[in-house]
Amino acid sequence: MFSLPLRDNALLRPLETWHAEEFAANLDRAREHIRPWVGQAFVTDSLDGARATLLRYAERQAADGARLYGIWLDGTLVGGVMFVSLDAASGNCEIGCWLEPAAEGHGLITAACGVLLDWAFGTRGLHRAAWHCRADNARSAAVAGRLGMTLEGTERESWPYDGVRHDTQIWSVLAHERPAARRP
């Protein structure tokens, strides 16, 4: 297993099915904070649900698709990043993230997503990485901007949450737009 330092006390590691208890605990701490911003299938309410989410990502990774990585801060899983989708044949992927409130403001998501982009473009040779977020999620849009992404447009009322439909922003960066000098 690999573990990459994001900073002195923060590590990025694969988040696997055997982490289900840690993942469930992380979701317990983060659930209400992230629920409006991430896909409903991701935000589970039980250990079995957490295990099912991890298994779903493990199966997708085995098929060379989506992947899931955790961020550990001082030894505690506080959030993570993922390839929501990865299609090597088309050269496209979408990345996403979640983080519990206590871990915000330390640059962990920007650093971890930078690792994903470096791998997607440098190792896998992908061409385009996308980022989708609710239009009213300023923190998520700021991460996309720090990653060198361009706002491509807005899908109107495409994100249903709590009986209301919200707009979704689509951001992206192309491999040639992310030279090493611009990486966070």
pLDDT tens, 66-120?
999 999 999 999 999 999 999 999 999 999 999 999 999 999 999 999 999 999 9
Q: Give the residue numbers spanning the domain of 77.
A: 4-182
What whole-number percentage of the chain has pLDDT above 70? 96
Average pLDDT over residues 24-30: 94
Instruction: Using pLDDT thresholds of 50, 70 and 90, give the confidence band for residue 180.
Output: low
Q: How far is CA 160 from CA 14, 71, 82, 108, 163, in A?
A: 30, 28, 21, 28, 7
Number of domains, the chain:
1
Residue with tokens 């698709």: 65
Q: What is the pTM of this model?
A: 0.93
Instruction: CATH number of the domain at 68, please.
Output: 3.40.630.30
Q: How far is CA 9 from CA 77, 87, 107, 159, in A?
A: 12, 33, 12, 35
**Residue 146: how many CB atoms within 10 A of its CB?**
16
